[in-house]
Structure 1
Amino acid sequence: MSIVEDEGNVLEVSPRFDRLLSSVLGSPFVTTTDLPPSEHAHMRGYNTLVDLEQVDGALIAVDRTETVTRPPSPTPSFATDTFSLINWPESADIYAWQPRPSISDAAPACSFLPSGSRRSGPHPFYPSSAPTPFNSLRVSQSSCSKGSRNFNLLPRLWEVLRESSPAKKSKRRLDIAAGEFWAELGGSGYIDWANLPPLDGEEGELIDDEACIIDVRAVTGLDIVSNIPDELALHLMSFLDLPDIMACLRVSRTWRRLASDNAVWQSLFARKRDAGWLLDLRRIRAPTQSASRIRSSLHARGRSGILPAPLEFDWRRLYRSRAELDRRWSTVPHVGQNVEDKENMKVWEPRVRRMLGHTDSVYCLEFDSSRIITGSRDRTIKVWSLKTGRCLAAFSGHRGSVLCLKFEHDFDLDDANMVSEGGAAGWSKGMMVSGSSDCSVCVWNLYSYPVEGEDGDRDCTTVAEVRGILRGHTGGVLDLRIDGQWIISCGKDAAVFVWNRSNLTLHRAFRGHEGPVNAVGIQGNRLASASGDGKMILWDMTTGDRIRTFDAHDRGLACIEFKDDLIVSGSNDCKIKVWSASTGECLRTLTGHEMLVRTLSYDPLSGRLVSGSYDRSIKVWDVATGKVVREFRGLHYSHIFDIKFDCCRIVSVSHDQQIVVLDFTEGLDTSLFV
């Protein structure tokens, strides 16, 4: 602290103000000790402490009239690391004596000089008498050291607001319509920024940067699924599709537990019923003893069966297996562990199994979940194990070639077919019919009993006996169909016979074709017949009337499939046609075979159609699109006579005496799939 004498008075002077001070923005301000003498200097004394000015938080003996107070620092609403209100170049002023730049690239100048230092003078665009913020606030040229990159925010912001307004249908640039810009704002060019009217709401809400910062820890919400009873949560999830369930598995542990529940996946599986995702619960086998013995013991205890509760299954595993099974039928490449390994991408190829045992051409086949039954030109009928391929039984009853046959599928799984009298406990009884070139139809009783094989596999021993012979055809019997009430046969004599299944009597005969009837189909009380004369006729079995005649193909028909309201026909013209039974319209024509289409097998639920031809190829079609899904060649060495398929396999027989099974189930448990 230094002491100064002034006319006898002693003043204390702070040494802090004997040096130059600088503001936070770098602008120099003089101290009181550097001020020139003033006319008020004689008033200094101890009595002047009442009129002291507080500078930097301390009362200093400086007259207020001789004090230069530091102005408040500006508080812009955007970052100022590359921007200064003081250091702004003269060249950025749109009112400088130079060609006028774009107004969208300019920003208003500012200065902390007194208002009396305003620059006034003529301007090529606006008169000097109309002050604006741009010519009233100026910065001295000596203080302009560098340009600002962000100070042009205000005009750009205004441009964005104008262009984003719904009322402005067309985009306008401010540098093109500068006059209109100022005219719209105020007319005279002067803008009172502090008293502008509020925004009209059309330009949206403006928020500062801090509002965009979200603290994740502060986000709170209510997990409804986790706070409701599990039964209700599972019921809600039962309405979700597979992608939604997969998303739920990744939400949280609680959601994963609920989404993994068996009931949820059972609902997903049941929703695929219309696509052919069906289960046969009768196929469940006990691990230690045969199903027939278990049923016998349960009947002895007065119980009705062994069907478990649906939730006893692992429905998620069943869903995954069935989805994979459907994928294998398509031509979508199979990708291994590494998705990027495109070199190893390939279409799934089914496993091929061949069965040999017939000594001549194999004309017909049928199969269920455990057995394949075939008929041959060697006049025998053979039963094969579907699982192992072994020949389980062989029997004969015809004097000619066995051209066609049908039997009750999985009859040994139905408790109603169990035989308990005559010392045949544990045996199941079924029915089979076969047609031959000897013009007869044989009706067989099939008996099945499961036995353990040498390798531990369980197969069914099959025994057959002729129940009756149906005679009436004068030519070879070419095709057969059975249902719960009727046996339908057709032959070379151009006739179609309907037999009563219970008493084996002739119910009705249909005649109307001019050539041999090669195939028949039945749905309810409607019967469709296809002939070598190229025509297809739809009959009413109840009244015997002809409903409709289809001029189906250019050449003779060899096979048909009648399912629901669709009739699919194959012909010697190498074409396959899909018909509407109710309207008679040809819905689609499938081409691709090079020779006669000899056999067809159609599943209306999955929409798959499998065809076999004399060109030795097997094609899988999508009936909805008419496209070939899969094609297999080289399986047989000669004409293919018959084909059947289910969701797991395709079985075909040929003139080359072979039975070929294409198995799509490798590595999958498909024992319950229909």
Structure 2
Amino acid sequence: MATQQEYLSNTQIPFPSYHDEADDDDGALYSHEEAQATPRFSHLLTSVLGSPFLTTSDLPGDADTAYAPSIPLDRMDDDAGLDMETVDGAFASVPRSFTITRPTSPTPSFRTDTFSIVNWNPEMYNLMLPGNGDGTPRCSFLQTGRRTISGYPSSHWSPTPSPTKVSRSLTIGMGFLPKIWDALREGSPSKRGRRRPAIPSWQDPELEYYSDGLIDYANMMPLDGEEGELIDDEACFIDVRAITGIDIVSHLPLELALYLLSFLDLPSILACLRVSRNWNHLARDNSIWRTLFSLREDDGWCVDLRRAHRENSSSLRMPLSMMPAPLELNWYHLYRNRQELDRRWSNYPGAGLSADLSDEAVAEQKEVTKAWEPKVMRISGHGDSVYCLEFDSSRIITGSRDRTIKVWSLKTGKCLATFAGHRGSVLCLKFDRDWDILDDGSMDMDDNVPRKGFMVSGSSDCTVCVWDLWAIPTWGGEPRITAEVRAVLPAHSGGVLDLRIDSRWIVSCSKDALIRVWDRETLSLHCTLRGHEGPVNAVGLQGNRVVSASGDGKMILWDVVTGARLRTFEGHDRGLACIEFKEDVIVSGSNDCKIKVWDANTGACLRTLTGHDFLVRALSFDPRSGRLVSGSYDKTVKVWDLRSGKMVREFRGCHASHIFDVKFDHCRIVSTSHDRKIVVLDFSEGLDTSLFV
């Protein structure tokens, strides 16, 4: 910024010369000719201060009779014929036609103290301070000992020197304008650091508060708002940052800004998207949405990176040896698709976003908005009732009363293979899910080498068959599935009603009221569990614990290693038909049309779900999402919220007869029935759910 003298020299505007302390004390005025040859002082004030002040040098007149910079009132000729007006305290008079009248200052109220901290007491001030004889009060700070703005002669202006040190700007004779300029020049925030330190009035011998002389405004402290009407420029200075705040995030390094945003939840991130363009760019970063997605893992939100490479390998027609880096995925779209998927499962539209909604709000949304209807696919091919099913990300395997096992494409419903090995109805089966996907995520396509899988099935012929499965890759199509019976286990003396497998055990149950545990590697019998008085219709396996459900109305928890009975559960009124055991939660379905939820550790019944009209034949639940799906002889499929015990969805008309089995994953429900049909309810229409598990 140009200095004051540079500014004056460039604009050639006459201005009083301020001397340093080394110069003489006499002020200097520009000559009359210089004043006439250059722009007026008022233009400087107009451009610098932004106020159209008028000086006496702007008054009309020739060069010989021009008005002096300041005309005392006692020298004004009353007969001059000019309509004169006093300017600010009668220090000078100018023709009225050349003045600009500014609004008057507000009159202080005698009824309130909110106008100023100065007590308005005319009598006290008239007694203590010199006045004009008209009772005009003065503003002073007597209690605090601060400066006063009084100090002018009580009658009128006089050139008599004051005992106090006079500012050179006052000797110019320009009236009140140089005083304001001094205050602005010395009191501005930019020059505050160079101001002489303030000296209290009782310590400054050159500053007299109640003297009749003038005050050195250049050495006075700036007005700070306590004097009422402010003239210092810092009174008008507004710190915009104090009002709007500082965008701290935008000033941080990118990595640190993203780290801070990673602590926010979904509503906060959505709000950040609307703050500014910079915040929108940060809030859309892939790492932010990956963090948000990972926070929902407890709700069952998971992705399988191997599937990403499987998709790529099928499109590139070549195996890939490495899984993609996590941030290679578009986590924003993954989050949005999974959120929409959860919303479709629920009977009200805000299921994914309004987990904290009250029951009243949920009921209101149910009444107003229609729930999402899944796409229905019906698969036919079996010659008789379909008793059991299992499915993974690409195929469905079913067992039927027609003594066959069939493999179906989950996407198209096409039958991929049919296996025959039992002499009776296939009542139950289990297999390793996605066995043809390698650990690195690719499909083994070198020389069409098949990928080996494992399956077991139980039948009314009292046997358990162990199968070797192979998925042979094909170019541009679904793998071709083949199977071969590895072993037949003479497990029971009655029909095998249910099976469970894990990496170590094979567990079977039968009409003969026995539970048998087999070693998966050697296929040798590990132990036999006895304790039920009726047929064991279902079993559940979790680690080294097995739970069994019988027609005698009891559930028993067993230790597989020792064969000991750990606990007996009683609560159903009639025989049990199905059971599911995951983590520490057991869910059972009974002929009493009820579903009960149990704590495996304590044996306590956590809640009872009612809603079916006939026997509850099949159950499937996910402890992470809290979603439970049940199938019944009443021909309905129901979806429950396991945590609250409330029914979320109900599907009627899917089957024309009893439902025998039901399974579900994140985006579909698959059920089988006595009507020989396999029904798939797909909630993922239009969404990319290929990576979800």
TM, length-normalised to structure 2 = 0.64
Q: Evaluate the alpha carbon distance shift between residue 540 and residue 378 of structure 1 in structure 2; reply closer, same or farther with a 3 A threshold.
A: same
Q: Evaluate the alpha carbon distance shift between residue 12 and residue 487 of structure 1 in structure 2; reply closer, same or farther with a 3 A threshold.
A: closer
Matched letter for residue 581 of structure 1: A
Asked if 1:648 is matched to 2:667, the reply is yes
Give the count of matched residue pairs: 481
Larger deviation, residues 275-284 vs 377-386: 275-284
Distance 2:278 2:77 in 1: 77
Identity %: 64
Distance 1:233 1:438 in 2: 66
Q: Evaluate the alpha carbon distance shift between residue 572 and residue 212 of structure 1 in structure 2; reply closer, same or farther with a 3 A threshold.
A: farther
Equivalent runs, 1:501-580 vs 2, <5 Å = 501-580=520-599
Distance 2:419 2:398 in 1: 11
CA contact (8 A) 1:537 1:547 kept: yes
Asked if 1:75 is matched to 2:91, the reply is no
Aligned to 1:326: 342
The Cα RMSD (Å) is: 3.7
Distance 1:215 1:243 in 2: 31
Asked if 1:432 is matched to 2:494, the reply is no
Local SS of the residue matching 2:393: coil
CA contact (8 A) 1:434 1:442 kept: yes
Local SS of the residue matching 2:436: helix
TM, length-normalised to structure 1 = 0.65
CA contact (8 A) 1:398 1:436 kept: yes
Distance 1:365 1:212 in 2: 80
For each residue in 1:480-525, what CA deviation from the matched residue of structure 2 results, as whole angstroms up to 9, or x when unmatched?
Answer: 0000011000000000000011111100000100000000001111
Structure 1 runs (4+) greater than 6 angstroms displaced: 15-18, 53-56, 205-215, 341-344, 416-421
For each residue in 1:543-579, what CA deviation from the matched residue of structure 2 results, as whole angstroms up to 9, or x when unmatched?
Answer: 1110011113110000011011111000000000001
Equivalent runs, 1:304-343 vs 2, <5 Å = 305-333=321-349
Match for 2:466 among 421, 443, 460?
A: 443
Equivalent runs, 1:226-265 vs 2, <5 Å = 226-265=250-289
Gaps of 5+ in 1: 1-10, 22-52, 60-71, 79-113, 116-204, 299-304, 336-340
CA contact (8 A) 2:322 2:440 kept: no
Distance 1:342 1:550 in 2: 36
Aligned to 2:612: 593
Matched letter for residue 415 of structure 2: C
CA contact (8 A) 1:379 1:396 kept: yes
Aligned to 1:625: 644
CA contact (8 A) 1:536 1:552 kept: no
Match for 2:508 among 489, 493, 499?
A: 489
Q: Evaluate the alpha carbon distance shift between residue 209 and residue 216 of structure 1 in structure 2; reply closer, same or farther with a 3 A threshold.
A: farther
CA contact (8 A) 1:525 1:542 kept: yes
Asked if 1:225 is matched to 2:249, the reply is yes
Q: Evaluate the alpha carbon distance shift between residue 316 and residue 73 of structure 1 in structure 2; reply closer, same or farther with a 3 A threshold.
A: closer
Aligned to 2:395: 371
Distance 2:314 2:575 in 1: 49
Compute the displacement of 1:250 (Å). 1.9
CA contact (8 A) 1:418 1:428 kept: no
Compute the displacement of 1:15 (Å). 8.6
Equivalent runs, 1:36-435 vs 2, <5 Å = 57=93, 75-76=106-107, 221-285=245-309, 290=314, 294-295=318-319, 305-333=321-349, 345-415=369-439, 425-435=448-458
Q: Evaluate the alpha carbon distance shift between residue 73 and residue 390 of structure 1 in structure 2; reply closer, same or farther with a 3 A threshold.
A: closer
Compute the displacement of 1:343 (Å). 12
Distance 2:392 2:77 in 1: 117
Distance 1:475 1:664 in 2: 39
For each residue in 1:58-112, what CA deviation from the matched residue of structure 2 results, as whole angstroms up to 9, or x when unmatched?
Answer: 99xxxxxxxxxxxx9773369xxxxxxxxxxxxxxxxxxxxxxxxxxxxxxxxxx
Matched letter for residue 443 of structure 1: V
Distance 2:626 2:78 in 1: 104
Q: Evaluate the alpha carbon distance shift between residue 416 and residue 261 of structure 1 in structure 2; reply closer, same or farther with a 3 A threshold.
A: closer
Q: Evaluate the alpha carbon distance shift between residue 417 and residue 401 of structure 1 in structure 2; reply closer, same or farther with a 3 A threshold.
A: farther
Q: Evaluate the alpha carbon distance shift between residue 212 and residue 250 of structure 1 in structure 2; reply closer, same or farther with a 3 A threshold.
A: farther
Distance 1:12 1:206 in 2: 40
Gaps of 5+ in 2: 1-75, 96-102, 110-133, 136-224, 352-364
Distance 1:442 1:417 in 2: 30
CA contact (8 A) 2:444 2:473 kept: no
Distance 1:54 1:231 in 2: 66
CA contact (8 A) 1:334 1:347 kept: no
More strand by share: 1
Compute the displacement of 1:219 (Å). 5.2
Compute the displacement of 1:472 (Å). 2.7
Local SS of the residue matching 2:318: helix
Distance 1:58 1:229 in 2: 62
Distance 1:261 1:463 in 2: 45
Distance 1:320 1:608 in 2: 20
For each residue in 1:23-52, what CA deviation from the matched residue of structure 2 results, as whole angstroms up to 9, or x when unmatched?
Answer: xxxxxxxxxxxxxxxxxxxxxxxxxxxxxx
Compute the displacement of 1:280 (Å). 1.1
CA contact (8 A) 1:418 1:427 kept: no
Q: Evaluate the alpha carbon distance shift between residue 217 and residue 356 of structure 1 in structure 2; reply closer, same or farther with a 3 A threshold.
A: same
Matched letter for residue 368 of structure 1: D
Compute the displacement of 1:464 (Å). 0.4
Local SS of the residue matching 1:255: helix
Aligned to 2:218: none
Compute the displacement of 1:14 (Å). 3.9
CA contact (8 A) 1:479 1:519 kept: yes
Compute the displacement of 1:411 (Å). 0.5
